[in-house]
Structure 1
Amino acid sequence: MKSLRIVFMGTPDFSVPSLKAIHAAGFTIQAVYTQPDKQRGRGKKVSSSPVKECAEKLGIPVFQPQSLKNPDVIAALADLQPDVIVVIAYGKILPKAILDIPRYGCLNVHGSLLPAYRGAAPIQYAIKDGVRTSGVTIMMLDEGMDTGKVLKKSEIVLDAKETTGTLFDKLSVIGAETLIPVLKDLPAYEAAAQSQDESKATYTAKITKEMTQIDFSQPAVVIERLIRTLDPHPGAYVLHEGHRLKIWAADVVPGTEAEPGTIIEVTKTSITVQTGRDALCIREVQPESRKRMATAQFLQGCHLTAGTML
């Protein structure tokens, strides 16, 4: 159905492969909706979303409304007469007035195998919980939180050292690959759409600052997953001499009877810390106001000894 009139809504890097794939497949993209430009960094430089930058390169009109509840915004979108709206990590909830506009409704590419991991952070929580598989779901949007009917899923096996960043990149590409066949035969997919099993639904909340400080009383396996969950942003940290030391890579190793948080071994390339169960061998760190570095490089300028508490 390349004659489909599509409006695309998305904001971060995760959305870009799907936008490119829709364009490359020859569909008519009438407009792209994305979050307003924001001031970032110390210089307060105004920057556009990755989706806006991509759309402008492709020559697609871009709209950045502050609110989708504005009657004028709704009317302008209705005037486009889209057959379908594709929504991928847009960052705004679509009101019913917009959900009802397209002939074929609104599609969403969600970064989990629904009904598992509904909500704001499905990719992060897949890493945090140590699941073996994840994937993407193409679903119909309704007024609930990721509760719509499922059109298609694609599943992958996670690597042992998968991070939020690596899984984010993989699922963004898989999402695009899964979406295009659905758009090409949309009426058939919608006719066969399956309702989600509410008894299997799980939910995710946003990642908060309170989650980023490492608690060494937790088992090493839990901490190691947290480190990968918060990579590349915002990073998990410990306090060392009053300053934050972010931990970017670590391995679970056998521990001792030492108190959790105690450094039990320092080599030229690693720092091993006792946890609530087992120990954590730290391989990559980032001192405050400096770049990420191997622990070996960090130890060249920082003298740590066994028995020190973190």
Structure 2
Amino acid sequence: MKIVFMGTPDYAAVALRALIGAGHEVTAVVTQPDKPKGRSKELVPSPVKACALENGIPVLQPRRIKRREAIEELRGYPADVYVVAAFGQILSQEILDIPPYGSLNIHASLLPRYRGASPIQHVIMDGEERTGITIMQMDAGIDTGDILYQREIGISPKDNYETLHDKLALLGGQAIVEALGLLEQGKLEPVKQDDALSCYAPLIGKEMGEIDFSGEALAIDRHIRGMTPWPSAYTGYQGKQLKIWRAEPVEAEDVLDHVPGEIIRTEKDCVTVATGQGVLRIYELQLAGKKRMLAHDFLLGVKMKPGEILG
């Protein structure tokens, strides 16, 4: 099929490579404008743009895709269908309706659950056991279009945002290739979403990374995993920010004699901290101004003591 692909981050670039590898003709790629990065503020292309340039595909980077000139430029590229994955701009119904097969979105949840910008983080933090990819027929709403195709995967108790993101990116590439094959054969049956079953996954912000040790250890562990590697989960220690990268909940241990956030003990490979219910063993952490370290190496330089309070 002839496709105009719209996307920006790594998640979308994986799907673009899958479409190219499957033999589809990507006539153009639409992605966000290059962004300054690092201290030099050098403009860096998105992963989707980099993939397009590697494959000789024309790239469009409108600042506002709803503008008339951007829409008319889109019309200049032949397409049977538009495929959208984490593009970063809202498309008007006029744009969605341009190609004969409309516009399909590769959404990283099992809709109608977890509509919104950050479904991967939220399924981890909510303790879901399964998630997946939904190929959706886009409409003007936010992730409200008809479901065309779904693929499921399990969520490991060790998965964090990074590992689950990478699994879903690969699954998304597989799912869109499979869905387009069925679409060409007329074998996709649209299914209306049940709004009563929906929930919303709002955009994750840096301020959401702060750890509340008054919660239960299991929930705190899910919070840490959902925030790793971005925006990261953090607390405070001796007036500095302390990022916690990897931990393990232990629900059975008695913490009646300790307050939430209190360091109970330090061991060779972990720091054990009290929570509102159970304890948290911290295995990887980072104090402001220092490198990310395993607890063993961290404790060689930072002398944490039982009774000190994090937060």
TM-score range relative to shorter protein:
over 0.9
Matched, 1:13 2:10: yes
**1:263–1:274 Cα contact (<8 Å) kept:** yes
What is the match of residue 281 of structure 2?
281
What is the match of residue 97 of structure 2?
100
CA distance in 2, matches of 1:235, 1:189: 44
What is the match of residue 302 of structure 2?
302
Q: Could you say what secondary structure the match of 1:9 adopts?
A: strand
Q: Could you say what secondary structure the match of 2:272 adopts?
A: strand
What is the match of residue 205 of structure 2?
208
- CA displacement at 1:153 relative to structure 2: 0.4
**1:21–1:180 Cα contact (<8 Å) kept:** yes
Deviates more, 1:72-81 or 1:275-284: 72-81
- Post-superposition Cα deviations, 1:257-281, rounded to whole Å, max 9, x if no partner, equal 1111111111122111111111111
Structure 1 counterpart of 2:309, one-letter code? M
Please provide the CA RMSD for this pair: 1.2
Taking the TM superposition and a 5 Å limit, the aligned residue runs for 1:126-141 are 126-141=123-138
What is the match of residue 73 of structure 1?
70
- Post-superposition Cα deviations, 1:31-82, rounded to whole Å, max 9, x if no partner, equal 0000000011222121110000011001101110000111011011112232
CA distance in 1, matches of 2:117, 2:175: 21
Structure 1 counterpart of 2:176, one-letter code? L
CA distance in 2, matches of 1:105, 1:146: 15
**2:134–2:147 Cα contact (<8 Å) kept:** yes
- CA displacement at 1:185 relative to structure 2: 2.9
CA distance in 2, matches of 1:217, 1:204: 23
CA distance in 2, matches of 1:189, 1:251: 48
- Post-superposition Cα deviations, 1:221-264, rounded to whole Å, max 9, x if no partner, equal 11111100011111111111111110011111224211111111
CA distance in 2, matches of 1:116, 1:264: 39
What is the match of residue 256 of structure 1?
255
- CA displacement at 1:28 relative to structure 2: 1.1
Which residues of structure 1 form unaligned runs of 5+?
none
Taking the TM superposition and a 5 Å limit, the aligned residue runs for 1:1-310 are 4-188=1-185, 192-253=189-250, 254-257=253-256, 258-310=258-310
- CA displacement at 1:189 relative to structure 2: 5.3
- CA displacement at 1:290 relative to structure 2: 2.6
CA distance in 2, matches of 1:117, 1:291: 34
4+ aligned runs moved over 6 Å, structure 1: none
Structure 2 counterpart of 1:126, one-letter code? V
Which residues of structure 2 form unaligned runs of 5+?
none
Deviates more, 1:95-104 or 1:191-200: 191-200
Structure 2 counterpart of 1:195, one-letter code? K
**1:261–1:275 Cα contact (<8 Å) kept:** yes
- CA displacement at 1:202 relative to structure 2: 0.8
Q: Could you say what secondary structure the match of 1:14 adopts?
A: helix
**2:149–2:188 Cα contact (<8 Å) kept:** no
CA distance in 2, matches of 1:269, 1:100: 57
Deviates more, 1:179-188 or 1:107-116: 179-188
**1:11–1:51 Cα contact (<8 Å) kept:** yes
Structure 1 counterpart of 2:224, one-letter code? I
Structure 1 counterpart of 2:226, one-letter code? T
CA distance in 1, matches of 2:12, 2:254: 42
**1:255–1:275 Cα contact (<8 Å) kept:** no
- CA displacement at 1:289 relative to structure 2: 2.6
